[in-house]
Amino acid sequence: MHPVRKRRLTIVIFLLAGLGIAVGLTVYAFRQNINLFYDPTAIMDGEAPHNVVIRAGGMVEDNSVVREPNSLKVRFRVTDFKSTVPMEYDGILPDLFAEGQGVVATGRLRDDGVFVADSVLAKHDENYMPPEVAKSLKKKTGDDAAAEAVKTVVTE
Amino acid sequence: MIPEFGHFALILALMLATLLALVPLAGSITRRPDLQAFARPLASGQFVFVAIAFGCLAWAFVTDDFSVAYVANNSNSLLPWYYKFSAVWGSHEGSLLLWILILTAWTVAVAIFSRRLPTELVSLVLSIMGMISVAFLLFILITSNPFTRLLPNVPADGADLNPLLQDFGLVIHPPMLYMGYVGFSVAFAFSIAALINGRMDGAWARWSRPWTTVAWCFLSLGIALGSWWAYYELGWGGWWFWDPVENASVLPWLAGTALMHSLAVTEKRGVFKSWTVLLAIVTFSLSLLGTFLVRSGVLTSVHAFAADPARGKFLIGVLAVTIIGSLTLYAFRAPVVHARVRYGSLSREIFLLLNNVLLMAAMLLVLVGTLYPLVLDYLGAGSLSVGKPFFDLTFSPVAIAVALLLGAGVFSRWKRTDGGWLGRQLLWPAAISLVLAVIVPLWLGHLEPWAFAGCFAAAWVSVATFRDLWARSASRQGRWTGLRRLTRSYYGMVLGHLGVAVVMAGATVVTNYGVERDVRMVPGETVEMSGLTFHFDSLRHRQGPNYSAEQGRFVITREGEPVTTLYPEKRVYAVQRNVMTEAGIDGGLFRDLFVALGEPVGDDAWAVRIQYKPLVRWVWLGAIFMALGGALAIADRRYRMRVTRESPETAKQEPSSPEAVTGGVS
């Protein structure tokens, strides 16, 4: 083969190999590491799979937070003002976690319908909630107050 | 009046930037040196006016001018003066102003340090940078003016700077990061200029290299600072979250690393020219993408600013024009540049090509993981997230592959490397690394596949680097003379590669052997972990300048001997009623002890997070090594000496003395 063509071929092969590595790893990792978001209504309607890592979010219902006396285990309910999902978490809650705040939790839905969270995210100031939560709340209530609340995020 | 001056200065800067974008370009097309000569003064003028605008905003902050909306939203009279100053870039508008300030500063730097370059080229480069600054000045003036007043209802006091940002790390993190992001615009401008005038030779690569390296150093430091800040300020002791915004900074870093290495080949051997140009375009586009991701509010993250759709649209417009424009130019002009240099299939060229392939593969992985959820969401196909497990799983093998390649690559020679010789060189490093990769994990606890792989990769890179240093410094006049004879850029390379090893070692060990426990503790209680006793001694109330805090006192002992005392805090900031966790950290070269107060859980009890983090500091130390390596490489004498244009033919004929062979890679 002509040396120039040969060299081009090597380069092309290398590039394809790199692309192949990237695609292969991505596909492999995507099979199990993508977490879908469900709102409480979807979970209550049985749309969410059980015992698979998913994300769920909404507002923490007022007067729903209960702590266990001798551990860090905490129970609370998350609502989209239409349906409510009970959640359980063992660990330290974020600083901004509070009743009436928007949260997004990552975890699994147990067969008894309780969402067991591995991590809970609450975001930065009282005006703000995670976009997924705001969107689903807006869908549910048609309420512009929720949309209004989303508008301000002032952090870096 | 001062804020109006600032606004006016920005408008003037836009005028000058527009002239800078047009006049020298016209001069270059019509070949009129008188028009080209406008480039340098216009670049300086643009910088001066942006600096004035920046100064005006800073002045408004320092003097508590709450009639300026941006100041009112991001400052407070109680804030210490240094945070008032850093609050200038604490939110969207001001951080864009900083972005532009740094861009114009880079432009002036190019104008000053390129006296030896042909005026035609410099004016073209400056003109391209002027175009970028036109786009961003328009953006700031149209969608994000920091000087907007709140009249006539001037608030009595400001809404305070977000407490997360009231921290030294955050004072310098954004400027560092932006220096990196924006610095890649120089390599971009050089590449576009080379595409336009069709002169793409060794000299072009030599000019672009130091600029790229400087930008890369800043970006490395900026990323490390961000990680360090997240570690101690976000309160939970993680040092990397694969947060989309972190990814946005890693993307240009990966592409920039590839670009540095590819520029080395282009400078030394005059090959891969088209690829290098493409990489320069990609790197800067990724910088713009990072800016877009962070600034447009499409992300849920700590970095998300107010989501104003106009801003997102403008930025994506800039991004689209840049990418489409430069790629179109590339498509038409790139085939013009040709090289007739030969190299074998086992040569340094090929090793560096592979390095580029792997780095770009890593970049693609991160890019896909970051953009996939956004694209899906935009198409209305559902909301999903791609988290840490995805990135850990995909990025780690590629990173290890890069390290393995690196160890072999440092021994390779330009043009052709003898396979058998290379194998003999690698025998000892392989053996030593293998032993280390088994001993270190066993010593730390237990052997695991990932720990083994990570330790092997780190050991492999460092042993190979030292082996190469040893071989190259051999000299008949003695070791010392040999060491002194090696170039600065070679030492830069050594340091940079050691930095890679240090980061890998740190990341591997802290990930696999870090211990973390969340416990419920009452003052007086004691917890045992990793051979240490953590005693929650007491809790007291403390008043800071603009916050009040609950401060815990933790006495840590090992078998009765005191190790340290930590004072983690839970702060409530007065103005916004924000709660912040200040962790108590005992830092050390080999391990960090980390105690953070979670929340009160009733009956005087607190949720407490206790962590033992071995080698966590190495992650940032490695980044410092890399940046120092880069600094050494650009201090190399050859960037200050030869002035004349060099064709690839002369580059090819350079003797294969150690200097010529090694000087290139940094």
Cα distance from A34 to chain B (closest Cα, Å)?
A: 5
Three-class SS state of A73: strand
Amino acid identity at B129: M
Judging contacts by C-beta atoms under 8 Å, the chain A residues touching residue B397 are 25
Name the token pair of B133: 């600054």
> Count of CB atoms within 10 A of residue A70's CB?
10
C-alpha neighbours within 13 Å on the C-beta side of residue B210: 20
Which pLDDT value is given to residue B656? 36
Return the bridge partners of A109, or none: A115
SS3 state at A101:
coil
Q: Do B297 and A153 touch (CB under 8 A)?
A: yes
Q: Judge whether A38 is annotated as a binding position.
A: no
**B129 CA to chain A: closest CA distance, Å?**
27
Given a cut of 60, is residue A73 above it in pLDDT? yes
DSSP-assigned letter for residue B332: H
The whole-number pLDDT of residue B301 equals 44
Kindly list the residues from chain A whose CB atom is less than 8 angstroms away from the CB atom of residue B306.
151-154
Determine whether the interchain pair B360/A28 forms a contact, defined as Cβ–Cβ distance below 8 Å: no
Is there a contact between B285 and B322 (Cβ–Cβ < 8 Å)?
yes
In whole angstroms, give the CA distance from residue B333 to residue B78.
57
Is the pLDDT assigned to residue A156 strictly greater than 60? no
Q: Which residues of A touch B383 (CB under 8 A)?
A: 36-37, 132, 135
Asked whether the beta carbons of residue A22 and residue B364 sit closer than 8 angstroms, the reply is yes
| φ and ψ of B535, to 5 deg | -105, 115
Q: Minimal Cα distance from A129: which residue of B?
A: B300
DSSP character at residue B149: B
Pairwise CA distance, residues B126 & B519, whole Å? 58
The string over B457-466, giving b where at least 16 C-beta atoms fall within 10 Å of a residue's C-beta and e elsewhere, is: bbbbbbbbbb
Closest CA to B637 of B525, B527, B489: B489
The sign of the torsion formed by the CA atoms of B112, B118, B123, B125 equals negative
Token code pair at residue B658 = 């150690």
The encoded tokens of residue A139 equal 């869908």
Q: How confident is the model over A7-32, as a mean pLDDT?
A: 79
3-class DSSP string for B338-385: CCCCCCCCCCHHHHHHHHHHHHHHHHHHHHHHHHHHHHHHHCCCCCEE
Cβ separation B386–A34 shorter than 8 A: yes
- Evaluate whether B521 touches B477 at the Cβ level (below 8 Å): no
- Name every residue whose Cβ is closer than 8 Å to that of residue B392 and which is 6 or more positions away in sequence: B242
Q: What distance in Å separates the CA atoms of residue B253 and residue B360, rounded to the nearest whole number?
A: 11
pLDDT of residue B494: 95
A131-139: average pLDDT: 60
B365:A130 CB<8 A? no
pLDDT given for residue B339 in this prediction: 56
Q: Within an 8 Å CB–CB cutoff, is residue B77 touching chain A? A: no
In DSSP terms, B533 is beta-bridged to: B528, B557
A75: β partners: A66, A88
d(CA B194, CA B187): 10
pTM summary value? 0.88
Residue A145 has a pLDDT of: 41
Exposure string for B626-635, b = 16+ CB within 10 A, e = fewer: bbbbbbbbbe
Q: How many Å separate Cα B220 from the centre of its chain?
A: 4
Residues of B in contact with A30 (CB under 8 A): 386, 390
In which residue are the tokens 């962070």 written? B294
Tell me, what's the pLDDT at A123?
61
Interface test with B, best of A92, A99, A121 (most B CBs within 10 A): A92
**Neighboring chain B residues of A150 at a CB cutoff of 8 Å:** 307
Name the minimum distance, in Å, from the CA of B34 to any CA of chain A. Answer: 43
The SS3 of residue B520 is: strand
Q: Give which of B170, B147, B119 is closest to B53, Cα–Cα.
A: B147
Contact B73 A125 (CB under 8 A): no
Q: How many helices (H) and strands (E) does chain A have?
A: 4, 7
The pLDDT assigned to B150 comes to 85
Q: Do B306 and A154 touch (CB under 8 A)?
A: yes
Inspect the interface and report whether the beta carbons of B305 and A33 lie closer than 8 Å: no
Query: Phi and psi at residue B589, in whole multiples of 5°?
Result: -65, -35
pLDDT at B658: 37
Question: Given this model, what pLDDT does residue B147 score?
Answer: 94
- Joined tokens for residue B533: 């006793």
The full length of chain A comes to 156
A124 is in an annotated binding site: yes
Amino acid B351 reads F
pLDDT along chain B (666 residues), means of 10: 93 96 92 90 96 96 92 88 90 90 96 87 94 94 90 83 81 91 94 86 84 95 91 80 87 96 88 88 93 68 51 83 91 66 78 91 91 77 76 91 92 84 88 93 88 95 94 86 88 96 95 90 90 92 88 92 92 81 89 89 86 94 96 82 43 37 35
Chain A nearest-CA distance from B546, in A, is 18
DSSP state of A92: P
pLDDT at A3: 67
Binary contact (B165, A156; C-beta < 8 A): yes
Count CB-CB contacts under 10 A for residue B344: 16
Interface check B572 vs A, CB under 8 A: no
For residues A76 and B279, what is the distance between their CA atoms, to the nearest angstrom? 50
Which positions in chain A touch B362 (Cβ < 8 Å)? 22
